[in-house]
Amino acid sequence: MRALLILLAFWGAGAAAQQAADAVAPEQGAFERSAPTAPVEAEDWMIVTAHPLASRAGARVLREGGSAADAMVAAQLVLGLVEPQSSGLGGGAFLVWYDARSGALTTLDGRETAPQGVSPTLFQQGGAPMGFFEAVVGGRSVGVPGTPMLLAEAHARWGRLDWADLFTEAQDHAANGFEVSPRMAASIAANADTLDRFPATRDYFLPGGRALTAGERLSNPDYAETLALFATEGPAPFYTGEIARKITRAVQSAPGNPGTLGLLDMILYSVKERPAVCAPYRGHGVCGMGPPSSGALAVGQTLGALAAYDLAALGPDAPDARRLIGDASRLAFADRGRYVADPDFVPVPTEGMLDPAYLAERGKLLDEGRALETVAPGRPEFDHALLWADGLSPERASTSHISIVDGYGNALSMTTTIENAFGSRLMAAGFLLNNELTDFSFASHEDGLPIANAPAPGKRPRSSMAPTIVMKDGAPRLVLGSPGGSRIIPYVANAIVGHLDWSMDVQEVASMPHAVNRFGTYDLEAGTRAEALAGPLRDLGYEVELRDLNSGLHIIAIGETLTGGADPRREGLAIGD
């Protein structure tokens, strides 16, 4: 048995520059770590998650003959403890599953859902949008968590080991303690002012008024108790029982900014199977999560608009390659802002948006040789007469991604979140509650037109999460995804271009310095060789910003062997055998 670990240096950058590049967005806090240099190789199975303890829990399950779904459950339960700022039982997730036996792709929507008590003006005061953190912190932003039911649903469909066997590591770490990681400590320090507002959160992350530091041992008896209940009773206590009552009490009694989430909302929750959304690119099918996520649509639209351009000949350092990719992304974001929302509430022109003729037309707009001066939504074929106004959804980077291939040939890609770092900052039953409702548009109408992604009772907020499986000849070739708010979309699209057009291995892809464009400004990753693109991109007509860019790409390529890559900007680990 070989357990191969990875960690060290950046694409073309020295160690000092590397450490500078590892600083992350302010809301996450800065921390330093070394970075992986080469992909992990394995023959039978592989798992990549954002924390070594989560990867090891999943690896143990895979080694014992568990499926990718089993390993995901074990890993997610640990992530909720050791990377609590990013995902957990109080959040939601989207899962893409490739089934080796049937060859089918299934996508599961475990997205949080708005309570019955919300209205389209949920995030407005006096008719104007609230400030982002005013909306986030407290009960107003909390949707019904989907993750507990999603874990149970994945296990019921595809699990091979006993449910309770998947809890061993999480229960051990919760009861006996784990080491606070540098990234978790940095995130606590960066968010101490808001974590301090609620007693349960303060007592856990700021014991005695002092922020936890890296290397300290931390246990979570409340989480251990929740896990014991989950292991024996499944998800029912979260939706109809004791844990549901703890969640709704925390939301409704949040001082200053309570929410309406109640027991009826919890009871009404369900995980939804949705059709996978696939887009062709360079002879592959890029498949992922459809609405309410904009992930697969926007990744597919970005790639579709690039189909006619020879990015391989240009290479990653060519400003013109970055112009093409950046403007293809902007066009996709324009459509996303107008058309994408929960399909159970608004008709979404999914087929029209990925129609090859439509994307070829959008792609022709890139032929000008300079940055597009105007980027407007297109008119994809739409069997519904109503037009929407563009939404206003301020999204921030948090979230976590899990990629797994098991010994049976199944593949799983799951992006999991509580939205902002530490979500709503409210804690119940040992875990943080999400602030996913702030992924809705804060504005409800514009110029008399409704906004597709406005809040409504029972609706799911639009997401950017893009758990992806790239298929070729009916088999999975690449399993990937990333955190990063709405930058998830360009992170994932660039990673696919890096692998398919620029022949990068999965670790080069995960380490590639970022250059991303969503709404017009070209964001280049500070402290990396991407900075060299600043001058040429300005000459092409872009406004350029150098920033810390906080991805967490976790990728597995499936070929003769399995190769895994973990993003050097986080603490992730690929393990395979």
Please give the residue ranges that form the binding site for ligand GLY (CB under 6 A): 395, 399, 417, 419, 436, 439, 463-465, 485
Opening angle at CA 84, ends 80 and 87, nearest 5:
65
Closest CA to 146 of 109, 114, 97, 117: 109
- Least CB distance to ligand GLY at residue 359 (A): 23
For residue 404, give the H/E element and its range.
strand 400-405
Q: Which letter does DSSP use for residue 437 in this model?
A: G
- From CA 545, how far away is CA 300, in angstroms rounded? 25
Closest CA to 167 of 256, 279, 74: 74
Token pair recorded at residue 508: 């080069």
| Residue of 399, 416, 468, 528 marked active site | 399
DSSP SS3 for 128: strand
- Least CB distance to ligand GLY at residue 467 (A): 11
Closer residue to ligand GLY (CB): 420 or 517: 420
- Least CB distance to ligand GLY at residue 486 (A): 7
Query: Would residue 374 show up in a list of annotated catalytic residues for this protein?
Result: no
Strands (E), 163-205: 178-179
- Least CB distance to ligand GLY at residue 478 (A): 21
- Least CB distance to ligand GLY at residue 93 (A): 9
Closer residue to ligand GLY (CB): 23 or 465: 465
Nearest residue to the partner ligand GLY, using Cβ = 463
Phi first, then psi: give them for residue 487, nearest 5 degrees.
-70, -10
451's CB contacts (< 8 A; 6+ apart) are: 388, 389, 390, 391, 392, 441, 443, 444, 445
- Least CB distance to ligand GLY at residue 292 (A): 9
- Least CB distance to ligand GLY at residue 497 (A): 21
- From CA 151, how far away is CA 337, in angstroms rounded? 30
Closer residue to ligand GLY (CB): 420 or 563: 420
Closer residue to ligand GLY (CB): 377 or 485: 485
Closer residue to ligand GLY (CB): 285 or 485: 485
- From CA 425, how far away is CA 192, in angstroms rounded? 10
Closer residue to ligand GLY (CB): 295 or 564: 295
Closer residue to ligand GLY (CB): 195 or 489: 489
Pair 106, 289: CB distance under 8 Å: no
For residue 415, give the H/E element and its range.
strand 411-417
Closer residue to ligand GLY (CB): 109 or 169: 109
The separation between CA 129 and the C-alpha centre of its own chain, rounded to angstroms, equals: 25
Closest CA to 466 of 437, 496, 442: 496
- From CA 457, how far away is CA 268, in angstroms rounded? 11
Using CB atoms within 10 Å of the CB of residue 210, give its burial: 0 to 12 exposed, 13 to 18 middle, 19+ buried: exposed
Strands (E), 217-329: 217-218, 272-274, 277-281, 284-288
For residue 554, give the H/E element and its range.
strand 554-558
- Least CB distance to ligand GLY at residue 187 (A): 16
Q: Which residues are catalytic?
A: 399
